């Protein structure tokens, strides 16, 4: 591991201990995005993780940078998710944006002065993105006029730029899709009421409406035909980042349960002296080690042909393990595990949310199933033993 990633991980750990953990309950109570906190994260370099140094970024590899979310996830998985989305969008702007877009936005994004969102989901299309409607008309002067609606827009109204996937024709399917950056404040762009969500209410989420929004062609990030394919690459990074955040969540749940059970007196010793409690928490510890190995292997595979499958394995396995961990740790603490002050209920709800966002567990199973079928087709047939199925 390079010295730079060591420093960044130390900074992320500090940010978690000094800003996220003490702040998160207050953020949820006020239901407001903690911009002062994300500004502090930015000052530590956590908002330009993968962007090159020439644009003010840290220039980290995905394999290294994704580990930051394990640290942030110890404090809060939704906060880690939002920063991950911003980092992926910033990476896209620096990697695929026009020179004009980079000049106008890259440094503001890597410095965290501006925040970015990725908008793919629509009210009628989630897992099946090919049924989206939002559409851009390509004008004679090169500008695009976009109309439609997006749903589940994280940082809705708080982000300064929205990397939006749109169709460019009436043809069904995804071959005409593109991604274009729409700055907040552009005429015709508006937001619906914020969703009412449990346990991460500081993350503003809602619908985004596009009513004849005109954007210059310099804002195109993924050209016509590449919109869905490029988005799926971004989503693979997001899936592994979520798995990393879930590992932080599991560590946090486990540490809470250990810290409590080591002192809880019962049957002449402590709860943690009981084999049954050790076995429960031991299972969480094994799942955590397995999850950590899996997300790190998946992070290192991103950008290779194995990347999408490894990301699916990580997204399928780790959030489920995190839900189990949060619930097991609650159980190990008895009634005390239910008290809000210990935060385990918040962690359970966060883990459930992380099973859904950026491709559900079921969609990961679909990706894995497809890979299994491909492998099966390459394998020699396993014949049925002689005598079976013969009349």
Ligand X SMILES: Cc1cc2nc3c(=O)[nH]c(=O)nc-3n(C[C@H](O)[C@H](O)[C@H](O)COP(=O)(O)OP(=O)(O)OC[C@H]3O[C@@H](n4cnc5c(N)ncnc54)[C@H](O)[C@@H]3O)c2cc1C
> Contact residues for ligand X (CB under 6 A)?
117-121, 126-127, 152-154, 205, 353, 356-360, 362-363, 366
In the complex with ligand X, which residue's Cβ is closer, 150 or 292? 150
Query: What φ, ψ does residue 250 adopt, rounded to 5°?
Result: -65, -40
In the complex with ligand X, which residue's Cβ is closer, 80 or 257? 80
Smallest separation (angstroms) from ligand X to the CB of 67 = 22
In angstroms, the CA 376 to CA 370 distance is: 10
- Residue 167 per-residue DSSP state: B
Q: Which two tokens stand for residue 225?
A: 């035909």
**Are the C-beta atoms of 127 and 156 separated by less than 8 Å?**
no
For residue 101, the SS3 value is helix
Query: What φ, ψ does residue 287 adopt, rounded to 5°?
Result: -60, -35
Smallest separation (angstroms) from ligand X to the CB of 202 = 12
Residue with tokens 């079921």: 362
CB atoms within 10 A of CB 13: 16
**For residue 86, what are the CA distances in angstroms to 109, 164, 303, 308, 344?**
8, 13, 19, 20, 27
In the complex with ligand X, which residue's Cβ is closer, 92 or 120? 120
In angstroms, the CA 40 to CA 31 distance is: 19
- For 166, residues 6+ apart whose C-beta sits below 8 A from its C-beta are 132, 134, 135, 136, 144, 146, 148, 177, 178, 179, 180, 227
Smallest separation (angstroms) from ligand X to the CB of 238 = 9
Closest CA to 73 of 266, 326, 300: 326
In angstroms, the CA 243 to CA 294 distance is: 9
In the complex with ligand X, which residue's Cβ is closer, 88 or 272? 88
Smallest separation (angstroms) from ligand X to the CB of 168 = 18
In the complex with ligand X, which residue's Cβ is closer, 62 or 153? 153
In the complex with ligand X, which residue's Cβ is closer, 44 or 165? 165
Counting Cα atoms < 13 Å in the Cβ hemisphere of 148 gives 25
**For residue 371, what are the CA distances in angstroms to 312, 350, 351, 368?**
10, 29, 26, 5
**Are the C-beta atoms of 274 and 267 separated by less than 8 Å?**
yes
CB atoms within 10 A of CB 372: 11
Smallest separation (angstroms) from ligand X to the CB of 264 = 34
Which residue's CB comes closest to ligand X? 126
Smallest separation (angstroms) from ligand X to the CB of 293 = 25
Element (H, E) at 86: helix 77-96
In the complex with ligand X, which residue's Cβ is closer, 159 or 277? 159
In the complex with ligand X, which residue's Cβ is closer, 46 or 151? 151
């Amino acid at each position: 591991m390079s010295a730079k990633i060591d420093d960044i991980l130390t900074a992320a750990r500090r940010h978690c201990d000094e800003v996220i953990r003490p702040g998160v309950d207050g953020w949820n109570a006020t239901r407001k995005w903690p911009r002062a906190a994300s500004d502090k994260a930015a000052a530590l370099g956590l908002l330009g993780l993968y962007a090159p140094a020439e644009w003010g970024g840290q220039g980290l590899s995905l394999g290294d940078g994704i580990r930051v979310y394990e640290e942030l996830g110890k404090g809060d998985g939704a906060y880690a998710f939002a920063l991950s989305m911003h980092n992926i969008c910033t990476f896209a702007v620096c990697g695929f944006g026009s020179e004009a877009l980079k000049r106008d936005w890259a440094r503001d994004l890597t410095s965290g002065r501006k925040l970015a969102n990725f908008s793919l989901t629509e009210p009628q299309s989630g897992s099946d993105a090919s049924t989206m409607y939002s559409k851009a008309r390509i004008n004679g002067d090169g500008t695009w006029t976009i109309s439609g609606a997006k749903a589940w827009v994280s940082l809705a109204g708080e982000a300064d730029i929205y990397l939006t996937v749109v169709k460019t024709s009436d043809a069904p399917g995804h071959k005409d899709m593109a991604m274009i950056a729409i700055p907040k404040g552009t005429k015709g762009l508006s937001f619906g009421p914020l969703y009412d969500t449990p346990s991460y209410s500081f993350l503003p989420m809602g619908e985004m409406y596009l009513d004849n929004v005109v954007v210059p062609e310099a804002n195109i990030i993924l050209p016509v035909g590449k919109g869905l394919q490029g988005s799926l690459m971004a989503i693979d990074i997001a899936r592994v980042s979520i798995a990393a955040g879930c590992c932080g969540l599991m560590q946090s749940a486990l540490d809470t349960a250990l810290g409590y059970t080591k002192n809880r007196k019962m049957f002449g010793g402590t709860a943690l002296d009981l084999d049954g409690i050790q076995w429960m928490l031991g299972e969480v510890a094994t799942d955590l080690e397995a999850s950590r190995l899996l997300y790190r292997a998946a992070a290192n595979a991103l950008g290779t042909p194995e990347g999408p499958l490894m990301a699916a394995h990580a997204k399928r396995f780790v959030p489920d393990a995190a839900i189990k961990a949060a619930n097991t740790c609650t159980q190990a603490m008895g009634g005390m595990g239910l008290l809000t002050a210990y935060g385990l209920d918040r962690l359970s709800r966060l883990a459930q949310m992380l099973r859904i966002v950026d491709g559900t567990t079921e969609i990961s199973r679909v990706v894995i199933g497809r890979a299994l079928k491909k492998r099966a087709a390459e394998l020699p047939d396993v014949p049925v033993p002689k005598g079976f199925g013969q009349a």
